[in-house]
Amino acid sequence: MNNRHVRQWRFWVAVPSIILAAGLAVMGADDTASALDRDPTGWTNLLAGPDAMKSWARGPIPPEGKLDPTSQWTFDAKTGVLVCEGNRGHEWLRYGREQGDFVFHVEWRFTPVEGKKGYNSGIYARNSKDARIWHQAQTGSGSGGFLFGDTPVEGRIKRINHGKQATSRVKPAGEWNTFEITCQGPEVTLWVNGAITDEFRECEVKKGYVGLEAEGYRIEFRSVLLKSLGAETPAAR
């Protein structure tokens, strides 16, 4: 084989690898489908219809705090978008009754503010009714995508924070993000925009409430869906 043939051989051997690498760059080598995309059956829309908000209740954070008499939450039944203005104090919106094993699917985006870098809110799972015990998937602008909370550890409530160990896939303010929290037995898993970003494998709380957090920033929520993985049903309160 002469030098010209060697160069040609090397070129044609390299072509498939180049094409594969380009394809992975576009698709995302580590991307996985959401639970909703894998199986769109069996989900309950928690924002269905004009009376959807009757199934939700506001609660102060911390539990001993006071709620502003004016709600900062509004729901547009036509668009299916729930808006939190973020201007009435720190609180959360609690859905229905306790759930055991489930997948909680939420799409969200912050309203961008010129010159603003820090945004804050969260998606809750397996909270106590008063949110003294809580597990949150942290949202942000280009940050977040990890689990933290106040949860029993060997029977005593302690703070857990996975902020330093999780990989952030959160998009900047103004863009829609998708979170899925899967709770099954002692395992709590967070999927963000195409991949699992965090896991908490020793959750001692086997039942609790799902919810959404208000913490000083305008944020929109849509496609708020719940899928039971056990005997529990996502019936409203």
- For the segment 70-81, what is each residue's pLDDT rounded down to a tens digit? 999 999 999 999
The token pair at 129 is: 């009714």
Mean pLDDT over each residue of the chain, to the nearest integer: 87
Residues 221 and 110 reside in one and the same domain: yes
The total domain count for the chain is 2
Q: Is residue 45 domain-resident?
A: yes
CA pair distance 110, 176, nearest whole angstrom: 8
Domain residue limits at 148: 32-228
Q: Is residue 236 domain-resident?
A: no
Q: What is the pLDDT of residue 165?
A: 84
Question: Residue 62 CA to chain centroid, in angstroms?
Answer: 21
Better-predicted residue by pLDDT, 98 or 13 = 98
Better-predicted residue by pLDDT, 38 or 144 = 38
For residue range 176-188, what is the model confidence (pLDDT) as tens digits? Answer: 999 999 999 999 9
Q: What is the pLDDT of residue 7?
A: 46
Interior/surface letters 192-222, b for 16+ CB within 10 angstroms, e for the rest: bbeebbbebeebebeebbbbbbbbbbbbbbb
For residue range 151-182, what is the model confidence (pLDDT) as tens digits? Answer: 999 989 999 999 988 888 999 999 999 999 99
Residues 42 and 96 reside in one and the same domain: yes
Q: Is residue 233 domain-resident?
A: no
- Tell me which of 13-17, 111-115, 199-203, 225-229 is least confident: 13-17
Residues 88 and 21 reside in one and the same domain: no
Q: Is residue 237 domain-resident?
A: no
Residues 153 and 206 reside in one and the same domain: yes
Q: What average pLDDT does this structure show over 72-98?
A: 96
Question: Residue 210 CA to chain centroid, in angstroms?
Answer: 11
Q: What average pLDDT does this structure show over 227-236?
A: 70
Give CA separation, 91 vs 100, 135, 202, in Å.
23, 14, 26
Nearest to 216 by CA among 107, 122, 77: 122
Residue 233 has pLDDT above 70, yes or no: no
Residues 105 and 26 reside in one and the same domain: no
